[in-house]
Homo-oligomer: A and B are copies of this chain.
Amino acid sequence: MNITVQKFGGTSVADTERIRNVARRVCESRSRGENVVVVISALGDTTDRLVKLAYEITPSPREREMDMLLATGEQVSVALLSMAIHELGYEAISFTGAQVGIVTDGAHTKAKILDVKVGRILDELEKGNIVIVAGFQGVTLDDQITTLGRGGSDTTAVALAAALGAEVCEIYTDVDGVYTADPRLVPEARKLSHLSYEEMLEMAATGAKVLQLRSVEFARNYGVVIHVRSSFSREEGTWISEGDERMEKAIISGVTHETEEAKVTVFNVPDRPGVAARLFQALAAENINVDMIIQNVSADQRTDISFTVGLQDLSKAAEISERVAEELGAAGTVVDEGIAKVSLVGAGMRTHPGVAADMFSALAESGINIEMISTSTIKISCVIRAEDALKAVRAIHAKFGLDKGVVMRA
């Protein structure tokens, strides 16, 4: 059975008029003979509205109850989209995550998908139905409703595509693909026609908002071909797949930036084995994702340890760091929210020495100071002052000729 999974985000279903637009897109695919499974998010600002209600009740809602609350958002969307498709004369049926069997672990508000049961979906596709599944949500084996966290609908779509053996997982969004940089910051940014999973992973991990990191990991692990495209145009977007020899190989895919992180530094820590482990185990125990970690060269048996975390985890991370700093006999902890991270991503980087040096000199030429550096085989990230982010992204984008799309190809 040729199956297409289509995912539409919150802005694509912001109101009933846009829901009708999504219904038309879905029915076009159906009329071409595709068996369509649609994953959608909550309508526009629904999730924010529900979160606000919860905080009117209590400053610290329990996560299980937040999941009960937030899961309603997508349930509203799937019912309305199903109605809109019926109105166009096509057959459709809507399901919650629990109903189709998106089985997750019990980590409420950021659950991980453990299993996807496809029997019910396949039955409905065989009856000729377009199947609409609520994104962002699942159910534990003991029947607790869970949500997958920010961007979770992408993960739902990719997981369904993997389990169903879909030919493609189309991610419809309000931009028409993945760009060499955020086009709102860099008007010369170009749309990328293809990216490997690895490149997309680094782009997503370093600030490209178009796809959620976990969904790309899922796609890579199960070989799901993703097509990121606009819900408002018919143009091809960006394809993400394993990549093969025929694919044009760019050394550099793009420049990304992230401003939603902060830096925590623990000063003057005794430099002995196990110190870093103690700190980062304590953070991990609270489920805090640490991004970059830097430990300075030791002087006088003392050292400074810095790390970056997402702003949403900052207060918890700072609290834990202070506690651990005290236990370790460190001088203290300083939090810096005024940072940005700019990154350069490209699979060709690993065979082209000098890319890092070029990036650093682009920053230097713009008078931008680098505070932290972190590299992988296909990515270089620099932490700089937040106010320098725009200038930095533009400088690096220009330095590598990404607007021209012709230089530095392998």
Contact = CB atoms under 8 A, between A and B. Distances in A.
Copies of this chain present: 2
B57 A68 contact: no
A250 to B, nearest CB: 44
Interface in A47-95: 50, 53-54, 56-58, 61-62, 64-66, 68-69, 71-72, 75-76, 78-80, 82-84, 86-87, 93-94
A50 B69 contact: no
A79 to B, nearest CB: 4
Contacts of A69: 75-76, 79-80
A66 B76 CA distance: 9
Nearest to A73: B72
Nearest to A76: B72
A75 B86 contact: no
Given A19-B57, A57-B19, A99-B143, A68 B78 contact: yes
A143 B58 CA distance: 33
Contacts of A98: 98
A71 B68 CA distance: 12
A86 B54 CA distance: 12
Contacts of A257: none
Interface of A: 16, 19-20, 50, 53-54, 56-58, 61-62, 64-66, 68-69, 71-72, 75-76, 78-80, 82-84, 86-87, 93-94, 96, 98-99, 143, 145
